[in-house]
Amino acid sequence: GENVEQHPSTLSVQEGDSAVIKCTYSDSASNYFPWYKQELGKRPQLIIDIRSNVGEKKDQRIAVTLNKTAKHFSLHITETQPEDSAVYFCAASFGDYKLSFGAGTTVTVRA
């Protein structure tokens, strides 16, 4: 199958704390794993991505890790801020043209 499982579905964190979202995928041939952020009423936008030949990637307060053996990848947001509140989607590539998305995680950062 071409499944991407994402957990948790909702996450509430105190401002300044870290947030972690985890995803698993079903196809060992998947080689591209992007993360998207969707603010209320807006389009999903890419925030970070990782390819299968890399184990970890960081961009300022966000980082993604990939464990190919276990077929899971995670998004880490440090020092969370109110503007980090949004729905976050993980995705995995299946074949050359398909990107399947997880069900999304609603992150709420409490001030």
Partner 1 sequence: DTAVSQTPKYLVTQMGNDKSIKCEQNLGHDTMYWYKQDSKKFLKIMFSYNNKELIINETVPNRFSPKSPDKAHLNLHINSLELGDSAVYFCASSPGTGGSTIYFGEGSWLTVV
Is the separation of the CB atoms in 87 and 106 below 8 Å?
yes
Determine if 13 is a binding residue for partner 1 (CB under 8 A): no
Binding residues with partner 1: total (CB under 8 A): 25
Determine if 108 is a binding residue for partner 1 (CB under 8 A): no
SS3 30: coil
Tell me how far apart the alpha carbons of residues 23 and 4 are, in angstroms, rounded to a whole number: 7
Is the separation of the CB atoms in 75 and 90 below 8 Å?
yes
In whole angstroms, how close is the CB of 101 to partner 1 at the nearest point?
A: 4
Closest by CA to 93, choosing from 45, 28, 47, is 28
Question: Of 16-24, 53-61, 67-75, 88-96, which part binds partner 1 (CB under 8 A)?
Answer: 88-96
Question: Of 12-20, 64-72, 77-85, 102-110, which part binds partner 1 (CB under 8 A)?
Answer: 102-110
Tell me how far apart the alpha carbons of residues 19 and 67 are, in angstroms, rounded to a whole number: 19
Residues found near partner 1 in the complex (CB under 8 A)? 30-32, 34, 38, 42-46, 49, 51, 87, 89, 91, 93, 96-101, 103-104, 106
